[in-house]
Structures are given as C-alpha cells and as structure tokens.
Structure 1
Amino acid sequence: MRATEVDWLELCRGCTRDLERILHELPTRAEREPVLGAGEGGDDTTAIDAAAEAAVVRRLAALDTDLTLVSEELGTRAFGAGGPLTVVVDPIDGSVNAKRGIPFFSLSLAVAEGSSMHDVSFGYVYDFGTREEWVAERGRGAFLDGAPLEDPGPKDTIEILSLEGTTTDAIAEYAPVMRGLARRLRVMGSLALSLCHLAAGRVDAVCCLKPARSIDIAAAQLLVRERGYAIELFEDPPFAKAPLDLVQRSRVVAAATDELCAQVAAALR
C-alpha cells in the first residue's frame, strides 16, 4: 500500500479500539504497573506501555507500507524499506496516570513526510478519560470530535498555565517564578493533552519543566500550529527544524502568541 492510500484517521481509530480493549484486559494498577524493561526513550517499560505499543505496531505492520517508526519503547525502526515517511507514536502519553488509574492519558500519533517537526502533516491524540478525539491536518485545521476548533481560544494574558514534566522539586523551583505571569497553575500529567487543551482555549499556556521528546509533542503541536498559536523549543530553536527522534534537546513552551511564549521561556531561564 502506498502512503497516500493510507487512511491515517481510520488507522488511529483502530489503534484506539485496540488500546481500549487492552485497558479493559489490564484494569488495575497491579496488572498495568509491572516493569518489563527499559524503553529506548529512557523510561521504564511497564506492562501497559508494552501492550499498547505492540498493538500500534501490529496496525502499522499490517499496512505493508515503507515507513520509519519513532516510538517510546522500540525507538526508531524501519518497516519495509523505511524511508522518509515517518510515524511518531507515544502509545500511552501520561503513563503514570494510566498505571495509577487516573483518567488523563492519551494515544499520540503523528505522520510526517520527512524527519523534522515541519514535515508533520497529520496529528491524532485520543483522550482515554474523556474519550475526546483531537485531530489536525496540515493546512486543513484542527478538530475536536470531528468539529473544527473555533474561538474562544487561549487568552492574551495567562490565567491558566499548564505545567508538564513535573516532579515535586521542579514545581518547587519554577512555580515561584511564575508569580505575576500566570494566575493559576495546572499539573495534569499528559503533555500531548495539555497542548490540545491550549488549542481549544481551555488553558492559556503550556510549558514542560524537562526537555521534551518528539513523541510527546509531534501530534499535538500540529493542533496548536493549525490554530495559529505559538510553540517553541526555546533552548534549541527553531521548532520547525526539531528532529523527529527520541533525544531530549529542549523544554517546550506554547501559548497564544510568540510574545507570551517568550515571557514564559524567560521565566524558566
């Protein structure tokens, strides 16, 4: 099958159905949490991570299409002859929430026609808690459950700042510098979903307190950019040239405008 013949939305929906079944089969922390090894992304591979990734990989393998996979556990792998078509997957973004039964985690899948963030042409994020489906297509807009995302968007001042990549120490270090910049903080536990919430105007800015990987942001960033909002890897710009790999190069900030992104980045520095 040629890449242009792939119905990426239907593939993602198939992956979602598979993952819903896996969550049903592994309903408790005792079943989801056991560590099976270490993933190529640097985190522990738990039972739920491994099962979710295996389900997505089966769907991709069944396409019989030349592509390059970049994924949390497997790392970078060629299907067929590999090539420029790149699929970037985090089968469970927010895996701590998923393991502990907190209903805020997602499937994140992006399709790119090359190896950089600029090449991403399709993004899909599925929230397993709310069962909301977030989709973006380059040049065609951003959608929630099939309806175009429209105003009101994020505010031009920051009422709600969503923090991700957090530990107690990181929050203790950086929350004080947000005084006077953000009125309220939210710590939700899925960077992909937080970026989707920015695209929908539910929060006004997002920042990750540790360097982000492409698997965390490749799909959701397209929703942000299709809405005309700003996102930057401020320690290793420009964002569009960021490689689609597992390297943690920079913290990410996103907001309604470049100016607000710069203010948040300055506070983090």
Structure 2
Amino acid sequence: MSLELALSDLAVEVAQEAGELARRRRAEGVHLAATKSSIADIVTEADREVEALIRARLLAARPDDGFLGEESAPDEGATGITWVVDPIDGTVNYAYGIPSYAVSIAAVRGSVVPGEWEALAGAVYGPAGGDLFHAARGHGAYLGDVRLSVTAETAAGALLATGFGYDPSTHDGDLATVRRVMTMARDLRRSGSAALDLAFVAAGRLDGYFERGLKPWDLAAGALLVAEAGGQVSLIDTDSARPMLIAGGTQVHDRLRGIVEEES
C-alpha cells in the first residue's frame, strides 16, 4: 500500500471515531469553554476533547509525525509529515444544534502554510449525516466507496457557497465580494463549515466555494478532496491578513477567480 493510501486510511479511521465522540457530546448538551477572536468565535469543551482524542490516536499510530490543530499547541515532528486537524469545523452550528459540522483531518508534507504544502491524504466526516469524504493524493476522492467528481458545466448559473469572518469590520468587504460574485451565481449557500463546503464541491453538491481568512485546518483536507475530484483550488492575496480561497470545477473556479481579482 502506498504512503498516501495508508495515511488516508488512518485519517478515515480517526475521523470516524472523533466524529462519533462529537455527536455523543452534542446529544449530551454543549458547554462553552471559551471565546477566541471575538465573542462570536467560540470553542466548546467538545472541541478540546475531540482534538485530544485525534492527537492521541495519531500519536499512537505515527509517533514521529507533526501535528497542527486548532485547539492545541503545534508539534513539528521529525518525519516531514504533519497532521492538520480541525476537531469540529462549524463550532457555532454545533453549539446551536445545527447539523452542519465536521471533523477534518489531513496529512501534509512540507510547510504547514497553505499553498506551500503537499497534501497527501485527508478525511472530512459529518457525523450528523454520516457522510465520510476521503482522498489520497493521486488516488481520487470518495464519499464512502463512491468516487467523486466536480461539476463540469453550469449553464444555468453556479450554485456557490461562502463564509464570513467573525470580525465585524470585515463584513462590508465580504458582502461587496458577494454582490460581485452573484452575477455568475444561480444561488448562494452559507453553511458555516468550510470543510463541508469544500467536500460538497468535490461531490458536485456545490459548483464552487470562496472565502477569505480561512485557517490551515479549515481547508487542508477539503482542498485535497476538490483537487482529487478533478477541481481547481487557488489561494490568492496570500500577502494579506485574509487570503482568499477559491475552489470549483475549472470553469467555475476561473470565473470566480477573475471576478475576485478584478476587485483586488
């Protein structure tokens, strides 16, 4: 078995276990642990518990790998491979009982700066719906056992998704981008989980996705899913505090990128 497939199998196994823990804790009732960048940017006790489980499982299986998670201190490791983890992507949804949240686990090689790493494997698991998306570099992207492919044509307009940052000072700029992008859209979705949005692009449930200010753990697994499903992923404005991620089939990606770059 190739390294990529072995890493993907491990990501799938751990994501499923972590997702079931998150689902159980949601059923028991959510307890807020802290706020982060703003009062709207929350972390639950479950986020921390789920990340601790993921970290322990990965450490047991591959003790020399690095780790970069949303809720704990990073570890560079010694193998050149780093696990990039979001224990519960869509924490606000999770806290409110909205079933749009996911566990996201990716293995990357090289720098952990988005756009500078080589993603090797990833899994995105939505416990509420039981959707398990996974990919290995060079081996395709899958939902369970079904191979995924991005949409190729959007004659009636593209179904797009986006998200907004927690800092209110950024909202005007984000809404201005939405106004420009709507010229090519059939409609717009805002799910609250970047990992699921990217997985849905890979599965053809969405035609494209764009968002500023994502963190490495938000996009690591999902971007690989899109690429392995035949799509395109770009990270632009990387010198700014809020780079823009654009993902979709080639046609949608290129049109989205053109609109966004016009405003830069």
Same fold flag (TM > 0.5): yes
Q: Which residue of 2 aligns with 1:243?
A: none
Q: Which residue of 2 aligns with 1:82?
A: 78
In 2 relative to 1, CA 94–248 (structure 1 residues): closer, same or farther, beyond 3 Å?
farther
Matched, 1:206 2:209: yes
CA contact (8 A) 1:157 1:204 kept: no
Q: TM-score, normalised by structure 2?
A: 0.82
CA contact (8 A) 2:213 2:242 kept: yes
In 2 relative to 1, CA 222–156 (structure 1 residues): closer, same or farther, beyond 3 Å?
farther
In 1, Cα distance between equivalents of 2:5 and 2:157 = 42
Matched, 1:254 2:252: no
Q: Which residue of 2 aligns with 1:48?
A: 46
The equivalences for 1:115-264 within 5 A come to: 115-116=111-112, 117=115, 118-150=117-149, 152-153=151-152, 155=154, 158-165=157-164, 169-170=171-172, 172-208=175-211, 210-236=212-238, 249-257=242-250, 258-264=253-259
Q: Which residue of 2 aligns with 1:242?
A: none
In 2, Cα distance between equivalents of 1:151 and 1:175 = 22
In 2 relative to 1, CA 166–133 (structure 1 residues): closer, same or farther, beyond 3 Å?
same
CA contact (8 A) 1:230 1:255 kept: yes
In 2 relative to 1, CA 8–226 (structure 1 residues): closer, same or farther, beyond 3 Å?
closer
In 2 relative to 1, CA 98–58 (structure 1 residues): closer, same or farther, beyond 3 Å?
same
Query: Which range moved further: 213-222 or 56-65?
Result: 56-65
CA RMSD of aligned residues (A): 2.9
Q: TM-score, normalised by structure 1?
A: 0.81
Residue 227 of structure 1, CA deviation: 2.1
CA contact (8 A) 1:154 1:198 kept: no
In 1, Cα distance between equivalents of 2:86 and 2:192 = 14
Matched to 1:126, the amino acid is Y
CA contact (8 A) 2:11 2:122 kept: no
The equivalences for 1:54-93 within 5 A come to: 54-78=52-76, 82-93=78-89
Query: Which range moved further: 88-97 or 106-115?
Result: 106-115
CA contact (8 A) 1:158 1:205 kept: no
Query: Which range moved further: 45-54 or 182-191?
Result: 45-54
In 2 relative to 1, CA 132–223 (structure 1 residues): closer, same or farther, beyond 3 Å?
same
- Where 1:185 maps in the other structure, the secondary structure is strand
What CA deviation, in whole Å up to 9, does each residue of 1:102-129 have, x standing for no partner?
0011111111232255421101100122
- Where 1:92 maps in the other structure, the secondary structure is strand
Number of corresponding residues: 250
Matched, 1:99 2:92: no
In 2, Cα distance between equivalents of 1:151 and 1:254 = 10
- Where 2:230 maps in the other structure, the secondary structure is coil
In 2, Cα distance between equivalents of 1:267 and 1:232 = 15
CA contact (8 A) 1:15 1:59 kept: no
CA contact (8 A) 1:94 1:106 kept: yes
CA contact (8 A) 1:154 1:203 kept: no
In 2, Cα distance between equivalents of 1:33 and 1:267 = 43
Note the residue ranges of structure 1 that are not aligned, 5 or more in a row.
238-246
CA contact (8 A) 2:161 2:210 kept: yes
In 2, Cα distance between equivalents of 1:90 and 1:148 = 24
Q: Which residue of 2 aligns with 1:110?
A: 106
In 1, Cα distance between equivalents of 2:4 and 2:223 = 22
Matched, 1:265 2:260: yes
Matched to 2:23, the amino acid is L
Query: Which range moved further: 193-202 or 117-126?
Result: 117-126
In 2 relative to 1, CA 150–19 (structure 1 residues): closer, same or farther, beyond 3 Å?
closer
Note the residue ranges of structure 2 that are not aligned, 5 or more in a row.
none
